[in-house]
Chains A and B, each alone.
Chain A
Amino acid sequence: MIKITFIDSFGEKRTVEAEEGSTVMETAIRNSIPEITAECGGACACATCHVYVDEAFLPLTGGPSPQEEDMLDFAYGTQANSRLSCQIKVTPELDGLVIRTPQRQG
């Protein structure tokens, strides 16, 4: 079972189960995780599923693609560990992944 922990901007933690092959964004939406909007539905066409990936997991998730970087330009408060959660595929290695959500989406 793959588990992902979402920590919102108030510090509240929610740990949910994720399905292999789905995305972190889909996992968040299915579990009603706050602070993720996903306006475009996962097309990498907006920046409303912006999240911060816990540093420990960055080597596993990798960085954003060039197209994703373009979209991150529209996100607020981006950091070096910023990603669009619709572009992170859930794999068994990501079990235990910790994701922080920003105070505000675009």
Chain B
Amino acid sequence: MGESIKTDVVIVGAGPAALFAVFELGLLDIKAHLVDVLPRAGGQCAELYPEKPIYDIPGHPMITGDGIVEKLLAQIEPFHPTFHFEQMVTELEVLSTPEAPAFRVKTDAERTFECRSVIVAAGGGSFQPKKPPIEGIEAYEQKSVFYAVRKMEDFRDKNVVVVGGGDSALDWTLNLQPIAKRLTLVHRRDEFRAAPHSVKAMRDLVSAGKMELRIGQILALSGADGRLAAAQIKSAKGEVSELAVERLVPFFGLTMKLGPVAEWGLNLHENLIPVDTARFETNVPGIFAIGDINHYPGKLKLILCGFHEGALAAQKVYHYVYPEKKLVFQYTTSSTSLQKKLGVA
């Protein structure tokens, strides 16, 4: 484990509410590190609806999911936030008193932070791979069934079956085919969401007899002691056939799970974190919750509400980071000191 990173605030999540919180914190000279399980910023905007138009962002009659993320990233650029992607905050430990809180935050990528405040902006939770609804699949997980490929060597000279029709499925089909004993791609229809060039590469391999493409859905698995032996596949016409399998790699997209947030000693209300509506602070002083993950009377899960919540939370965070200073409220339109921070004065 490396040295722990000392910073003012750790933000759990990197969706729109988290990004705008960086701006509001930055205006108050508060530095933030952001941790997100996804490989890029944007949260649900980037993962669920990058190209969908959003009509209720103030000042933007229409903007896409990707569009708002791009603009938020440009807006917070002057504050140089540090992003830690593809990892999940697993532990949150309170180090000191409620009056002068301090926290130790750990991720599953062995990164440790020490900070004065934590802002939980985790939306609907962390994105995790969806499991196909095959009875008893859990028994084979991490031995024969993998939802992500971490070590290619585990697949060498094995009967590998990849399931899905998107980029992940096609990319891993192409990457694993050269080392697998035999590779079969199973997809429910003969059309693919993946990039056309990878679909073509896959079809070329099929034509050359180097891999197999099966159109259908997996019905059942068989094996023993966590080691897969075979999968039953039902074709679109309803015919059932059997396929020898040693490694199964299903790509069924992502779903949101609350995950470790539930274990941090925060009060929860139906998987949401109750906060006060003046500071958006949780029951643990120094830990805030903003955006879709919080709950209070009248809560609306709108991006614009997340922005407001981040702005108010930042005011209270300031008192924890600079307990001896008095906060003077200023406008970006008129304050030279704010404009200097933004690099425009």
Contacts and interface: CB of A to CB of B under 8 A. Distances in A.
Contacts of A76: 132-133
A77 B133 contact: yes
A14 to B, nearest CB: 23
A104 B49 contact: no
Interface string B92-103: 000000000000
B126 interface: no
A62 interface: no
B193 A45 contact: no
Given A39-B255, A47-B253, A106-B252, A73 B48 contact: no
A101 to B, nearest CB: 14
Given A45-B48, A106-B253, A106-B255, A77 B189 contact: no
A31 B124 CA distance: 23
Contacts of A38: none
B187 interface: yes
A100 to B, nearest CB: 17
Contacts of B256: 39
Interface string B145-166: 0000000000000000000111
A73 B255 contact: no
A45 B255 contact: no
B130 interface: yes
Contacts of A69: 189, 191
Give the secondary structure class of B's interface: loop
A22 B130 CA distance: 29
B165 A73 contact: yes
Contacts of B253: 46-47, 73-74, 106
A40 interface: yes
Given A69-B189, A69-B191, A104-B133, A74 B48 contact: no
A39 to B, nearest CB: 7
A45 B49 contact: yes
Interface residues on B, range: 20 to 34
Interface in A44-87: 45-47, 69-70, 72-74, 76-78, 80
Given A73-B166, A74-B253, A43 B48 contact: yes
A78 B124 CA distance: 26
B217 A43 contact: no
A70 B217 CA distance: 15
B340 interface: no
B188 interface: yes
B80 interface: no
B40 interface: no
Contact of A45 (B52, B164, B187, B236): B52
A40 B133 CA distance: 20
Contacts of A72: 188
A57 B193 CA distance: 28
A74 B253 CA distance: 6
Interface in B168-204: 187-189, 191, 193
Contacts of A70: 165-166, 193
Nearest to A74: B253
Contact of A43 (B52, B133, B164, B252): B52
A78 B255 CA distance: 18
Given A73-B164, A73-B166, A77-B217, A106 B130 contact: yes
26 contacts: A39-B255, A39-B256, A40-B49, A43-B49, A43-B52, A45-B49, A45-B52, A46-B253, A46-B255, A47-B253, A69-B189, A69-B191, A70-B165, A70-B193, A73-B164, A73-B165, A73-B166, A73-B188, A73-B189, A73-B253, A74-B253, A77-B133, A77-B217, A78-B217, A104-B133, A106-B252
Given A39-B124, A45-B52, A73-B164, 7 more contacts: A39-B255, A40-B48, A43-B52, A72-B188, A73-B252, A74-B253, A104-B133
Interface of B: 48-49, 52, 124, 130, 132-133, 164-166, 187-189, 191, 193, 217, 236, 252-253, 255-256
The 3 residue pairs across chains A and B that have the minimum distance between CB atoms: A74-B253, A45-B48, A70-B193
